[in-house]
Chain A
Amino acid sequence: MASLNKLTISQAREGLKNRDFTSVALVEACLTQISSYDKKIKAFITLCADKALELAKKADLEISQASYKKPLLGIPYVCKDNFSTRGIQTTAGSNILKGYIPPFESTVTRKLENAGAILLGKTNMDAFAHGSSTETSDFFKTTNPWDYSRVPGGSSGGSAAAVSADMCIFGIGSETAGSVRGPAAWCGITGLKPTYGRVSRYGVVAMASSTDSPGPLTKTVEDAAIVLGVIAGGDPFDATSSPLAVEDYVAKMESFSLKGLKVGRPASYFDIGMEAGYKKTVEDSLAVFTELGAEVVDIDLMNPKYSIAVYTILQRSEVSSNLARLTGVRYGNARGTFGREAKRRMMLGAYALSAGYYEAYYSKAQRVRTMLIDDLNEAFEKVDLIVGPTMPGIALKLGESEKFSAFGEMMDVLVEQSSIAGITGISVPCGLHQNLPVGLNIMAPMFAEAKLLGAAHEFEKSTKFNLERPILE
């Protein structure tokens, strides 16, 4: 058997159930991996080793005593540091919240706790999720397990790197536009961005309220389906959460077939000047859908550059408002500790919302947002799914992003439209280019997670690109 820390959720569940190993052993294996490699990868802001072992002991007792129903009992995970965890420091990667210990639990981590999952630690991220490389963390830079000289992507880079490096069984991130799918693609794992409102935002330090979507980072599509089943659902503490019933994603995924479905290939998503070899890797993976019985058809979507413009205005505006509470008066540190990127975004957002500019910027952006949503809805009348590359290229070298002031938006160009529209999408590994992972972004209409996961699962089963893992040094 592989080292315990390398297991997927379904494998770990099976092993725990059969008493092949204990939760304590599982947690210890992860902690060992962390202590071996986190010096280089630097995925963690806070490690909860003692508490995790304590919870693992309790889980083992529960497993040994009776038939248990908790779907994630004894399974260790990591969580992006913007999810409020009662009694555990929650920084959102920022100095201003360094030392801030929330008195309440986010809905996602509470649901995971109720499902028996064990929190190993809180992971690094771009401060306030303002970035796509995890380099703008106020604390330190996380590296890509495939190549330590490269970034893991962001903003959920810590969680993605930890999953990729087998420091945990699964991870939790949050996506505003690419923050789950992006790092999943660059770290060679699976990243699911659920439909906006499918997973509660309560307790997640807000970035852009109208697009934030918590989502799982996993080693397989099945694992993503398992975690989504636990964290999804309406929440009386989040007015934007959907009361729609949560489906049995795993069962639906297993009975799903791509046969006869139409998969849309938006030309504009492939004509953004990608490097030839990289583009070919993505194009080749489209053939898999044809092999599996689907029809791949060309579709027109608006040039993704419009999504960048809309997203930049709306997101900055919401950021300027959401960060206004961080005054340092009652909790956290003084406002002088805000990082450069946060300050830049707040100024831009406050400008866009100010009297006289509101119509020209925010109001206009909202109107274009409606156009982008209509654009996708029209496309989904013709096709069941839309596929494209997750990122415009392979993981960048550390420091490269500093050349661009809107670096994040340029990297997130291919996922922003889906984020703005609130639809669901998943990045799955679709091969390697220059020995680095490439991600395929599959998108489906709002609340069509079952279909999305089904398609991604079939793709994964057929290609097994998910088994390509980094060799850690």
Chain B
Amino acid sequence: MSLTKYKLVLGLEIHLHPKINKKMFCYCSSDIWGKEPNTLTCPVCLGLPGALPVPNREAVEKTQLLGMALKCEINQKSRFDRKHYFYPDLPKGYQISQYKQPLCVGGSLKLDNGFVVELDRIHLEEDVAKSFHVNSQTLIDFNKSGVALIEMVTKPVFTNVTDAVDFCKKVQNIIRFLEIGDVDMEKGQLRLEANVSVRTEEMENANELAPYKVEIKNINSFKFLEKAVNAEFERQVEVFTSGEIPKQENRGFNEATGKTVTQRDKEEAHDYRYFPEPDIPPMEFDDDYLAGITSQLRELPDEAVSRYESMGISLATARTIVNNFGLDTVILFDQALKKGLDPIKSANFLVNKKEIIEAAAKGSEHLYSMLEQLIKGNSDNLDEEKLAGVIDQVLEMNPKAVGDYKKGNTNSISFLVGQVMKETKGGADPMVVRKKIEGKL
């Protein structure tokens, strides 16, 4: 049987650390990155007898803010539940999470290609400690124990992993725009889990799901998400092809072999014995409170892109500024615009000049003056005639790239565009340059 007969079904769980000063249920610092193990702990996050959790208001607010950005329904009544399982990194024998009444339910996000990702829920919980397996010993660092963790769960709506990666990147950017978290994947502030199953084309047409799912745990980069899902898809198709049904289980991605491997189950039978956390009163949010959260909603990345487009900036350029450069650049760029700089020219400088980004890092004044200088220095020269001259010159000086393009290697045009941009000190619109070069060749 061929691979194409089988279709991927993919759902995501995104775990992220909101940027708050304290842990979720105690007053320990949540600034754990690079800290000496077991130095940021207290009776609460160590699970000592008699210690009690007190929920962090800011974490609740940030979760609701994210829910609002993703068009979730914000529950007016919400509560925490205890999720029981035994594992050395879980000091109380249960994790305080949300089960029946999460903070946010439903919601959706539209990707750039138009695909709408439906969400199941967003809830708040506490992170567990970190285990290190050294030789035959297991060492545990409780600094991470009790750090607030927002969990976003999508419905199993993805049929390809590219959409899933796009979704993650988009969510990551929204989180950064709303300053909900830094979501630095290298620091473990954003972690992914993929629920993968496979179905036939007929099932896909009938909108039927497979009777199982395989959960790939702890994916810490978008690249690994892609690799892990593809590897798992292929594995499951092989299982099907051999006449069996893949079993429901947790698997991990082995970066070295590029394959997923079965993980020892945390509990033999998954019965988390959820019940309402009696140490924390149920939460109720009135309209005034929720209006306060709504007022924290800022312009979202897609809204910024639209705004730039309406100024005449090309969609690709606007997306580069907003999605690739992020909030800091958007803020500085907007400041420059406010001071009267030309939007299109400034935007083109931004996407073509890496030093601009470095300048941005040094502060808004520096960026502003640099933008100003570049525009002044180039705008005079950049009439149509001059640009045509520069293009001719570049084509002449790069016969190999021109030859490659003519042989069908369309990638080489990017190089030529880059050369033109360099010559014009970023003063040209790369889309225009590309068109002109294509015309000439």
Interface residues of A (CB under 8 A from B): 82-84, 90, 92, 97, 100, 102-104, 106, 201-206, 208-210, 236-240, 317-318, 320-321, 323-327, 329-331, 350, 353-355, 358, 362
Interface residues of B in 37-67 (CB under 8 A from A): 42-44, 46-55
Q: Is the CB of B279 within 8 A of A209?
A: yes
Known: A236-B54, A240-B280. A317 touches B48 (CB 8 A): no
The reply to whether A239 and B52 contact each other, CB–CB distance below 8 Å, is: yes
Can you sample 9 A-B contacts with CB below 8 Å?
Answer: A102-B48, A204-B50, A236-B54, A240-B52, A240-B280, A321-B82, A324-B94, A325-B47, A358-B273
Residues of the B chain whose Cβ atoms lie less than 8 Å from the Cβ of A318: 278
List residues of chain A with CB within 8 A of the CB of B47.
325
B43 proximity list for chain A (CB < 8 A): 84, 102-104, 203
Q: How many B residues touch A, CB cutoff 8 Å?
A: 29
Contact A205 B53 (CB under 8 A): no
A90 CB contacts on chain B under 8 angstroms:
49
Grouping DSSP codes into helix (H, G, I), strand (E, B) and loop, the B interface class, with mixed when no group exceeds half, is loop
Question: When the two chains form their complex, are residues B271 and A354 in contact, meaning their CB atoms are under 8 A apart?
Answer: yes
> Which of B93, B275, B280 is in CB contact (< 8 Å) with A324?
B93
Q: Which residues of A contact B274 (CB under 8 A)?
A: 353, 358
B93 touches A238 (CB 8 A): no
Across the interface, which residues of A come within 8 angstroms of B279, CB to CB?
206, 209, 239-240
Q: With A209-B278, A239-B280, A362-B275 as given contacts, are A324 and B48 in contact (CB-CB < 8 Å)?
A: no
| Contact indicator A202/B51 (Cβ below 8 Å) | yes
B52–A237 CB distance below 8 A: yes
Give which listed residue, B50, B52, B88, contacts A102 with CB less than 8 A.
B50
> Is the beta-carbon distance between A321 and B273 smaller than 8 angstroms?
yes
Docked pose: A326 CA to B50 CA in angstroms: 12
Q: Is the CB of A321 within 8 A of B53?
A: no
Known: A92-B49, A205-B49. A210 touches B54 (CB 8 A): no
Nearest Cβ distance between residue B415 and chain A, in whole angstroms? 60
Check if B246 is an interface residue, CB within 8 A of chain A.
no
Select from chain B the residue with minimum beta-carbon distance to A106: B50
Docked Cα-Cα span, A236 to B44, in Å, equals: 13
Are A238 and B54 in contact, with the CB atoms below 8 A? yes
Given contacts A239-B279, A321-B93, contact A331 B48 (CB under 8 A): yes
Q: Is B50's CB under 8 angstroms from A240's CB?
A: no
Q: Which of chain B's residues has its CB closest to A197's CB?
A: B281
For residue A358, which residues in chain B have a CB less than 8 angstroms away from its CB?
Answer: 273-275
Contacts A239-B55, A321-B82, A354-B273 hold; do A206 and B92 have CB atoms under 8 A apart?
no
- What are the 9 closest A-B residue pairs judged by CB atoms, nearest first? A324-B93, A209-B278, A210-B278, A353-B273, A203-B50, A205-B49, A239-B54, A325-B92, A84-B50
**B52 CB to nearest chain A CB (Å):** 5
Residue on A with the closest CB to B43?
Answer: A104
Tell me which residues across on chain B come within 8 A of A104, comparing CB atoms.
42-43, 48, 51
Chain A residues with CB under 8 Å of B94's CB are: 321, 324
Closest to A332 in B: B49
* Contact call B84/A321, Cβ cutoff below 8 A: yes
With a CB–CB cut-off of 8 A, which chain A residues contact B188?
A: none
Other than A104-B51, A325-B93, give 6 A-B pairs with Cβ distance below 8 A. Answer: A82-B50, A84-B43, A97-B49, A104-B42, A324-B92, A330-B91
Known A-B contacts A239-B281, A240-B279, A240-B281; A202 and B52 likewise in contact (beta carbons under 8 Å): yes
Point out the residues of chain B lying under 8 angstroms from A330, CB to CB.
46, 91
Name B253-298 residues within 8 Å CB distance of A. Answer: 271, 273-275, 278-281
Q: Which residues of B contact A97 (CB under 8 A)?
A: 49
| A324-B86 in contact (CB<8A) | yes
Q: Which residue of B lies closest to A329 (CB)?
A: B88
The answer to whether A206 and B49 touch across the interface, beta carbons within 8 angstroms, is: yes
For B48, B55, B271, the residue with the greatest tally of chain A CB atoms inside 10 Å of its CB is B48
In the assembled complex, the CB of A360 is this many whole angstroms from the nearest CB of chain B, namely 13
Residue of A nearest to B55 (CB): A239
Least CB distance from B85 to A in Å reads: 9
Cβ-defined partner of A205 (8 Å) among B50, B55, B88, B91: B50
- In the complex, the answer to whether A84 meets B49 with C-beta atoms within 8 Å is yes
Contacts of A317 in B (CB 8 A): 275
Q: Across the interface, which residues of A come within 8 angstroms of B46, CB to CB?
A: 330
- How many whole Å from A21's CB to the nearest CB in chain B? 35
Which of B55, B92, B273 is close to A350, meaning CB atoms less than 8 Å apart?
Answer: B273
Q: Please give, as numbers and ranges, the residues of chain B lying within 8 Å of A203 by CB-CB distance.
A: 43, 50-51
Give chain B residues whose Cβ lies under 8 Å from the Cβ of A323: 93
**Bound-complex Cα distance A182 to B278 (A):** 24
